[in-house]
Structure 1
Amino acid sequence: MSKYLFPALVLAAAGFSACCLTSVADEPSQPQENQAAIQQSAEKFTKAFNAGDAATIAAQFTENAEYLSQDGSVIAGREAILEDFTETFKQSPGLKIETTIESIRFLGKGVAIEKGTTWVTRKEGEEPIQSGYAVLHVNTGEGWQIAHVREIAALQHSNYHRLKELEWMVGEWVDEGSDSLVVTSCRWSKNKNFLLRSFKVRMAGRNELEGTTRIGWDPEAKQIRSWTFDNAGGFAQGFWTNDGDRWIIKMTGIINDGQTASATNVFTFIDGNTYTWQSVDRILGGEVSPNIEEITIVRQAPPPH
């Protein structure tokens, strides 16, 4: 990797992004304030990086900060970091970064270690470069700053950045009708390469159908793809297309008696606690089937403590 791509990964190592914070252990003193301060810095850093603003980025580091790359090279001091970022943006204009913060652990008052994964894209349309990172944050009294960064080779590839627009699906969901109940659960797989959904359908108090769906990124088709299996022996695959707040899924499959089936399913995001689902253009065994009209699905309230 070019020397001048390091600074892109300094941001990676810093983990500065308004991204998902998946695991946080708060500092004993003022945990909410400290977490908020780091996240505010993250937003500022990401905005500056994507704007090519080297001065704002360098200001996030302590005067004697160090960055250790995968090959053992070291960038030492705020001034050297400023020079390297300046040269990077000059040599590679348009660099963009996406980051997943996997953990922040407060070691005591004013000291925190952050770990995560980043994707750096040099030009639009190019495949991003993935890297892991670990960073030491210190509270200097003037706010949280970066004291030390270590770049880590990504041991496992993650397509989180391809799937993060569907992150709102994570959680427990329910649709309850007069004589039916559909319960859906969604979670991330390890390393966030897939969203794993399970569903159960009850009619008149009896379990009628249940199954699982795995949603991932198809690198050959360059599209989000899903695979669904039900306990009746049927299976299907779907290709996902985004249309604003809607996701349109073209489904094809086989039911347990060997008949082919196809449909267009539509998920529409309403807010963090609500989405709708409908199924149209339904064909079963070569015959047209009725559409399923739009259903509203809500996030299930957590059980009382």
Structure 2
Amino acid sequence: MKTPMIWLGAMALTCAGMVVASGDSPKAQPTDSDAKPAAAATPASDSKEIAIREQVQAFANAFNVPDVDALTELFTADAVIVDPAGSETRGQPEISEMYATEFENVPGVKLECNVGEVQFLTADVARVGGQSRLSTGTGDANEFTRFSALAIHRDGKWQFAELREYAAPAEDITPYDRLRELEWMIGDWVDESDDDKISSSIRWTDNKSFLIRTYSIEIQGEKASSGTMFIGWDPQTAQIKSWVFSSEGGHGEGLWTRTADNQWIVKAQGTRHDGQPNSATQIHTILNKDVVKTSSIDRIIGGQLAPDIADVVMVRQPPQPQSQPQPKSEEAGKSEK
């Protein structure tokens, strides 16, 4: 039988998705008096703005491949890039070299861009503003910036003549922005063997500032323990942090670090219900979207080394089918009349 007390706070991680459906009821057909003129053609300015927004997305796509040549082609020959520190990179050759060096030094780096305002200075020149999020391949750092780009229409295509980046102010970055790398955790998970069962459920708080995990452990059919964990962004340590409280009265906290695309490490410490301090390093490995493996190593309880616990495998549970209301029988309908 697996030892159930694997440091009850962070034993399972989860993954989920969401399905949203909506529909409109049929509308009455308009009469001749209600008829409206056909919609006007899309204004030229709108089509230009769409084209510029598509270029920003093309920039992010090329960055994430990464494709240095495709990135370079999005800039004019004499373009300039200014980073948050004020350093300038001028011209396509230097821009190409800069990106090639960055991708070599930080493999797997990823970029997200969200365009805010597109302001046309002339028919062929526009100023583009927005926000971006840069994450390393290991996910151990995220950089949030604002950007301002000067787009020029030349030879039938839009290119960037200037790109400036600025450090994003604190109000730009929400707790959800910090935590969404853990959004895959949402859902219900279970690890069940002949002797014990570990169940875990994770959901967002209403404002998505925290993830809440509830768990329970059963041994030979009897409930042995349960607890609640909150996972959030700690501005003091500038790191994802968790706080856990067990049904026995113990409590603990952990600092989260992403060490690979499919792996998180949690440095956890706390106090047991009997007052003994404990600590451990938890390694959470995402095997696929429905399976997560957890190991707990370097375990210390009351100042004494404890055996490692390896390969606790949590499997995501499918959503429970919604029960359909049973139609009333004809006899039941008569009795109600």
Both proteins in one fold, TM over 0.5 = yes
Partner of 1:80: 120
How far off is 1:301 after superposition?
Answer: 2.2
Task: Please report the RMSD computed on the Cα atoms of aligned residues, expressed in angstroms.
Answer: 3.7
Q: Tell me, yes or no, if the aligned pair for 2:145 and 2:167 is still in contact at 8 Å.
A: no
- Select the structure of larger CA radius of gyration: 2
Q: Tell me, yes or no, if the aligned pair for 1:121 and 1:129 is still in contact at 8 Å.
A: no
How far off is 1:181 after superposition?
Answer: 0.4
Partner of 1:257: 274
Alignment partner of 1:96 is 2:92:
no
Greater length-normalized contact order (CA 8 Å, ≥ 6 residues apart): 2
Partner of 2:57: 47
Q: Which runs of 5+ in 1 are unaligned?
A: 1-19, 30-40, 55-68, 70-74, 99-118, 132-156
Alignment partner of 1:303 is 2:320:
yes
1:215-263 CA distance string (max 9 Å, x none): 1011121110000000000000000011111110000100011110000
1:244-302 CA distance string (max 9 Å, x none): 11110000100011110000011111221111111110000100011111111111122
Partner of 1:126: 167
Q: Which runs of 5+ in 2 are unaligned?
A: 1-15, 26-50, 64-70, 76-115, 135-143, 148-163, 323-337
1:174–1:21 distance in 2 versus 1, CA, 3 Å: closer
What is the TM-score with the length of structure 2 in the denominator?
0.52
**Equivalent residue letter for 2:207:** N
SS at match of 2:236: coil
Which whole-Å CA distance do the structure 2 matches of 1:220 and 1:174 have between them? 33
1:36-67 CA distance string (max 9 Å, x none): xxxxx9x958624758979xxxxxxxxxxxxx
1:98-133 CA distance string (max 9 Å, x none): 9xxxxxxxxxxxxxxxxxxxx8634889345656xx
Q: Tell me, yes or no, if the aligned pair for 2:233 and 2:239 is still in contact at 8 Å.
A: yes
1:45–1:187 distance in 2 versus 1, CA, 3 Å: farther
Partner of 2:214: 198
Aligned residues with identical type, % of pairs: 35
How far off is 1:158 after superposition?
Answer: 3.0
Aligned residue pairs total 204
1:81–1:233 distance in 2 versus 1, CA, 3 Å: farther
SS at match of 1:297: strand
Alignment partner of 1:185 is 2:201:
yes
Which whole-Å CA distance do the structure 1 matches of 2:266 and 2:238 have between them? 15
- In the TM superposition, what are the counterparts of 1:1-305 in structure 2 within 5 Å? 24=20, 26-28=22-24, 47-48=57-58, 50=60, 80=120, 86-88=126-128, 96=132, 121-122=146-147, 126-127=167-168, 130=171, 158-244=174-260, 245-305=262-322
1:85–1:130 distance in 2 versus 1, CA, 3 Å: farther
1:182-207 CA distance string (max 9 Å, x none): 00000011221111100000001110
Which whole-Å CA distance do the structure 2 matches of 1:233 and 1:240 have between them? 23
1:224–1:81 distance in 2 versus 1, CA, 3 Å: farther
**Equivalent residue letter for 2:308:** N
1:304–1:81 distance in 2 versus 1, CA, 3 Å: farther
SS at match of 2:126: helix
**Equivalent residue letter for 1:281:** D
1:166-190 CA distance string (max 9 Å, x none): 1111000000011000000000112
Q: Tell me, yes or no, if the aligned pair for 1:228 and 1:236 is still in contact at 8 Å.
A: yes
